[in-house]
Chain A
């Protein structure tokens, strides 16, 4: 369900991959904008207000990546912000999760082949694995901008509260 990277039995016989795949406490989130147009950021602010009130699920915004379990990543990851994203995600304690919000973070949107962007989080993820930064789970939330309900749905998918609806489909015409 959640994409996993790395992990084998350690010296104490604990399956690290299994141990890090789920989070059993309230998740604290850190918001990273990587060159987004602020549409998705406004929707994230909407989620955090009393109107949608994600503190029902124990989700809380924190000001430092060192306190965070989950990074809310928006934007297509421009070349300029890439080093900052690496530093922010590197500062997060394991298990670290990423919620890629909006079309930009998922597939690069209209900037997917631009010279100044990486074109979405999947491409950054490849580079992170080369650089030795392990991310325990990624959930992609499409939408331009993603609705506040879609973001809550994505967080619920990450927490394992429900199974994702979307499936790969192939039709013959």
Chain B
């Protein structure tokens, strides 16, 4: 009984420790990582982030004639590896953590990319932005085969060297 009273001077000395959260700013340090944000103007749709993402929160899907880079924040582990690996620095890490919502579809964010279609076989294979980027970066690239998909390009290049089989 008397032992319990020992806590009183400790409590008086410490005072109130409670963080009045909605009214008081939460502790967010410099290194805190929240949800990521994709800049649609910078993103070329190379898919490097989808390959590095450990829980596959970033995925790429082909829908008719668009490639969609889908970000599902509900599966994100906030590791920031996508921001490190992005060659265009299109992904930035924000300090946003108040993401709670009642509707799971609110947790998705999509970036829509225009897609290139092979004129020979009709296969969709790369985003238009990435193709333009490659043409501008690589010197002496054969422009006549750039519109073709990898399979058709191989065939066309071979035809150039050994001629058309009869």
Q: A residues near B, CB below 8 A? A: 1-3, 50-53, 56, 103, 106-110, 112, 120, 122, 137-144, 146-147, 149-150, 152-154, 156-158, 164-173
Contact = CB atoms under 8 A, between A and B. Distances in A.
Interface in B101-139: 101-114, 127, 129
A2 B74 CA distance: 16
B77 A140 contact: no
With most chain A CB atoms within 10 A of its CB, the pick from B21, B76, B78 is B21
A158 B38 CA distance: 29
A142 B73 contact: yes
Interface residues of B, number: 44
A72 to B, nearest CB: 13
A98 to B, nearest CB: 11
Contacts of B97: 143, 146-147, 149-150
Interface stretch (B51-59, B141-149, B155-163): B51-59
Nearest to A148: B21
12 contacts: A1-B103, A2-B102, A112-B55, A139-B102, A165-B98, A167-B106, A168-B106, A168-B108, A170-B110, A171-B110, A172-B111, A173-B127
Given A103-B55, A169-B110, A150 B104 contact: no
Interface of B: 17-19, 21-22, 26, 35, 38, 40-41, 43-45, 54-57, 72-78, 97-114, 127, 129
Given A3-B103, A112-B55, A165-B98, A52 B41 contact: no
A106 B107 contact: yes
B98 A150 contact: yes
A51 B100 contact: no
Nearest to B67: A173
A173 B129 contact: yes
Nearest to A112: B75
Nearest to A170: B110
A43 to B, nearest CB: 12
Given A1-B103, A141-B99, A157-B102, 10 more contacts: A106-B104, A106-B107, A108-B55, A108-B75, A110-B55, A110-B77, A150-B99, A153-B98, A153-B100, A170-B111
A103 B79 CA distance: 12
